[in-house]
Amino acid sequence: MDVKPESLPKHVGIIMDGNGRWAKKRGLLRSKGHKEGAKTFREIGEYAADIGIKYLTFYAFSTENWNRSPEEVAAIMNLFREYLEEAKEREGENEEKQLRLRFIGDKSRLPDDINALIKEAEESTEKHNRVFINIAINYGGRAEIVEAAKKIAELAAKGELRPEDIKEQTLSDLMYTANQPDPDLIIRPSGEYRTSNFLVWQSAYAEYVFTDVLWPDFTCDDFDRCIQIYARRNRRFGG
């Protein structure tokens, strides 16, 4: 990786897409594609942390993904279970690397056992402060904004917040990513050119890099290439 540390993005978001097509190409079940995608997620997460990316957000399951077949949803939920069980065994490593895990999205719709595992993973890493990994599960950017709007309305109704005091920061502070910088770079593999409801509020000035590689085939070299493309971009923020 020949990008200067100061040119690295602080926060990278990844839309982990293309698992189904990867499996289809090989005549396999979609669930096999998700299994391979989960391996890629572990590899890229580890690699990105090692090269000094401080904040990472992985889009794993959207609010719309419940519309998949029950078999597919169940297979994905099982992969979350596996990952979370494994996170327990990695407690030592997470501490050594100072990795903090957070699960963002509306967790109320997830099975209870997954919620319990999430709680454990979040609590066991909550003091870690070198690398922050967000995993978006039952996440929708619009739903996130709606929740923020509800909280603001509640505060206003109680007389604790005046409409004229509502600022952009007020909303940022109510997002799941409160206290984290907005994503600098969002990577979408699989050849789709859309954001599919990912970090809608936070991505106002994010740089996007799209690649045709399907997520299970995505390698550390592909990640490097995305970072290099990002480093050559000229961000102006409207100025």
Q: Could you list the residues that contact ligand IPE (CB under 6 A)?
A: 15-21, 59-62, 64-65, 76, 190, 192, 194, 196
Cα 42 to chain center, whole Å?
A: 13
Between 125 and 138, name the residue whose CB sits nearer to ligand IPE: 138
Ranked by CB distance to ligand IPE, the top (closest) residue is 20
Q: Which does 16 bind (CB under 5 to 8 A by kind): Mg ion, ligand IPE, none?
A: ligand IPE
Q: Among Mg ion, ligand IPE, none, what binds residue 216 when CB lies within 5 to 8 Å by partner kind?
A: none
For the chain, the residue count is 239
Spot the catalytic one: 2, 17, 19, 179.
17
CA distance 32 to 26: 10
Interacting partner of 224 out of Mg ion, ligand IPE, none (Cβ under 5 to 8 A depending on kind): none
Binding mask 7-46 for Mg ion (x = CB under 5 A): ----------x-----------------------------
Question: Does residue 144 bind Mg ion (CB under 5 A)?
Answer: no
127 contact partners, CB below 8 Å, separation of at least 6: 100
C-beta neighbour count of 228 within 10 angstroms: 14
Task: Look up 67 and say whether it is catalytic.
Answer: no
SS (H, E, C) 183-234: CCEEEECCCCCCCCCCCCCCCCCCEEEECCCCHHHCCHHHHHHHHHHHHHCC
Binding mask 76-105 for Mg ion (x = CB under 5 A): ------------------------------
> In whole angstroms, what is the distance from residue 237 CA to residue 235 CA?
6
- Closest distance to Mg ion from the beta carbon of 164 (Å): 42
Mark whether 65 is an active-site residue: yes
Query: What SS3 state is found at 79?
Result: helix
Partners of 209 in the beta sheet? Answer: 187
> Of 65, 106, 217, 224, which residue is the catalytic one?
65
Q: What is the DSSP string of 142-171?
A: HHHHHHHHHHHHHHHHTTSS-GGG--HHHH
Q: Which of 78, 196 has the CB closer to ligand IPE?
A: 196
CB closest to Mg ion, residue no = 17
Q: Say whether residue 207 binds Mg ion (CB under 5 A).
A: no
- Rounded Cα–Cα distance for residues 149 and 147 (Å): 5
Active site positions, annotated: 17, 65
Using CB under 5 A, list all residues that contact Mg ion.
17
